[in-house]
Amino acid sequence: MGFHLNPGNSGFSRIRNDLYVDKSGLIALINKTIDTTRSLTCVSRPRRFGKSFAAQMLCAYYDRTCDSSMLFHDLAIAKDTGYAKLLNQYDVIYVDMTGVRPFSNNYRSIVSYLNQKITEELKDAYPKIKPGLDLPYALDSVVNLSGNRFIMIIDEWDAPIREVPEIQEEYLMFLRSLFKNSAITAKVFAAVYMTGILPIKKDGSQSAISDFQEFTMLKPGPFAQYVGFTEEEVRQLCEDASADYSEMKAWYDGYSLRGVGSIYNPNSVVKSLLYGDYDSYWTETSAAGSLMNYICRDVDGLRKTVAELIGGVEVAVDTKGFSNDLITFRGRDDILTLLIHLGYLAYDESTKKARIPNEEVRLEFVRAIREDTSPDTMKRVQESDQLIMDTIHMNAEAVAEQIEKVHIEATNPLNANNENSLRAVIQLAYFSYKNHYMKMEELPTGYGYADIVYLPKQSEMVPALVIELKWNQSADTAIEQIKQRKYPTVLQGYGGDILLVGINYDKDAPAGQRKYTCKIENWRG
């Protein structure tokens, strides 16, 4: 049992001893590729979405130097017809690229490091192979001598070129020597499984390692249910832990993949259950460079697009031209595509649109915006903060004025003449609410649905806001609907003050008159 060669099953054993969701069905997908033209698989997904857990599981399943039957006997894979035949039948080479960084001069000597360390372990396990061979030929020699073929598992394959772009050419040539070598690849590897954050780097118009079958956040294919936790899995976890599923959904739902539906970030779900606290755990997952480095670039109206995203608006994205790296950005669409791969945006394959997936990630956007020192961004933050204060102090005229200003500056959300479009403008205007509030939309009350409710955080001494939106009616009508349908009763258990906020947009208002009107009242029960 070595560091890279046949690492054993201890990693997966520890995973099974903790809060665990059965994702062993992934093994069956890899088993189906063994000894086929589809034997090279690359799955890219954001950090903290279970990539390393999957890699450890595959190591435990395939490694021939250990007996992992007790780790899998009660999992879904044990019911698969090919399970027993392939269990612990291969030599495994496992490389966690982030783990070898300290030993490879921060990736600058990654090729020489891997070539030396893995061949040394091969020599120890198979003393008869010739000394001094480069890794591809050492692997070939092992197969010739023993007949044992390899499953290779590379976790975070793209970390070296994300962190140190200048070693990209050498590193990709090394990977080509293993996986695009007609004399060696098919003979040596029964299957290869790579994970990464980004898809495989393009070399011109083609993938640099073109024989890999790629599955990404844009096109996850059959691996979609293994990208994160599914809705059913999260419901079961909440039931087992007696946790509030609706709050879990509000915080962490938002990714949706074809054929699977809602997908949750596993790291955040597990931590919220273990710590008993719904919060943003996204700051622990920052990928090579902060979010601010990307979203605060003034290209192709990106700042305006980010404001729309924070407001809950979906934006169209052309993902086809992305070069699959962190430095080559031709414009707005490339940056948005990167954010999809990093998990900061969710992508709908059918509409070709992206959105901020949930409250956890939206909070990170707001934090990033607040760190942006550009005058335009600072002004936007200040105006949103002031709008919240004007609402709290019941300055209805100022509220209407600022919302109309936001409407004029960001007309895209109002392509459709309805209250859903109006809601997008309100979300843009109040985007900095996170300092004081939790936001709930379309909240069922028993008498209908409250459009938007801002509920104060426990530490905040501010009133709750119940907002009703109207199109071509009146702010008075909005207030009366809140009262008649008793929307504030949904806040049972909340003992603080409640403000009723009615907002109307009059599309046909005469010239010189404001299109937005607002009325604010105290709720008297």
DSSP 3-state of 517: strand
| DSSP helix/strand/coil, 357 | coil
Q: What pLDDT, on a 0 to 100 scale, did the predictor assign at position 438?
A: 81
Question: How far apart are the two ends of the chain, measured CA to CA in Å?
Answer: 70
Q: Given this model, what pLDDT does residue 271 score?
A: 92
Q: Check residue 416 and give its pLDDT.
A: 44
d(CA 112, CA 135): 10
Angle between helices 375-392 and 396-409 in degrees, nearest 10:
150
Per-position b or e across 461-484, b if 16+ CB within 10 A of its CB? ebbbbbbbbbeebebeebbebbee
C-alpha neighbours within 13 Å on the C-beta side of residue 81: 1
Sheet holding 40-44, edge to edge: 91-96, 150-155, 189-196, 40-44, 213-215
- Cα–Cα distance, 504 to 483 (Å, whole number): 16
CA separation, residue 137 to residues 119, 178, 188, 283 (Å): 9, 9, 10, 43
> What confidence score (pLDDT) does residue 458 get?
72
Q: Distance of CA 341 to CAs 156, 200, 215, 278, Å?
A: 13, 12, 11, 24
How is 464-493 classified by DSSP, letter by letter? EEEEEEEESS-HHHHHHHHHHTTGGGGGTT
- For residue 150, which of 69, 34, 10 has the smallest C-alpha distance? 34
Look at residue 290 in the predicted model and tell me its pLDDT: 61
Helices 302-310, 332-342: inter-axial angle, 10-degree rounding: 40
The conformation of residue 3, written as its DSSP 8-state character, comes to S
Helix, strand, coil % in the chain, rounded to nearest 5: 45, 15, 35
30 near 86, Cβ under 8 Å? no
Q: What letter does residue 223 receive in the DSSP assignment?
A: G
Using left for φ > 0, alpha for ψ between -120 and 50, and beta otherwise, residue 312 falls in left
Delineate the domains of the chain, giving CATH numbers in brackets. 10-215 (3.40.50), 248-365 (no CATH), 373-522 (no CATH)
Distance CA 403, CA 391 (A): 11
Number of H helices, E strands in the chain: 22, 18
- Which helix (H) or strand (E) element contains residue 438? strand 437-444
Contact 472, 506 (CB under 8 A): yes
What value, to the nearest 5°, has the Cα angle with vertex 438 and ends 432 and 439? 80
Q: Which amino acid is at 25?
A: G
**Dihedral, 316, 292, 273, 227 alpha carbons, nearest 10:** 50
- Using an 8 Å Cβ cutoff, are 185 and 140 in contact? no
How far is it, in rounded angstroms, from Cα 455 to Cα 321? Answer: 42
CB 33 within 8 A of CB 91: no
Residues 72 and 288 sit within 8 Å (Cβ to Cβ):
no
What does each of the 525 residues of the chain score in pLDDT, given as a tens digit?
678 999 999 999 999 998 999 999 999 999 999 999 999 999 999 888 888 999 999 999 999 999 999 999 999 999 999 999 999 999 999 999 999 999 999 999 999 999 999 999 999 999 999 888 899 999 999 999 999 999 999 999 999 988 898 998 899 999 999 998 888 999 999 999 999 998 887 665 445 677 899 999 999 999 999 989 999 999 999 999 999 898 898 888 889 888 898 999 999 999 999 998 888 886 654 443 467 777 777 677 787 788 778 767 788 999 988 888 777 888 899 999 999 998 999 999 889 999 999 888 887 887 777 776 667 777 777 888 899 999 999 999 999 999 998 888 765 544 545 566 788 788 888 877 877 888 887 767 666 777 888 888 877 789 999 999 998 899 999 999 998 888 888 787 777 899 999 999 988 888 778 889 999 999 876
Within a 10 A sphere around the Cβ of 418, how many other Cβ atoms? Answer: 10
At residue 194, φ and ψ (nearest 5 deg) are -120, 145
Handedness of CA 329, 331, 333, 336 (dihedral sign): positive
Burial of 221 (0-12, 13-18, 19+ CB in 10 A): middle
Write down the residue that tokens 């109040």 correspond to.
430
DSSP H or E run through 385 = helix 375-392
- What is the structure's pLDDT at 349? 87
pTM score, whole prediction: 0.80
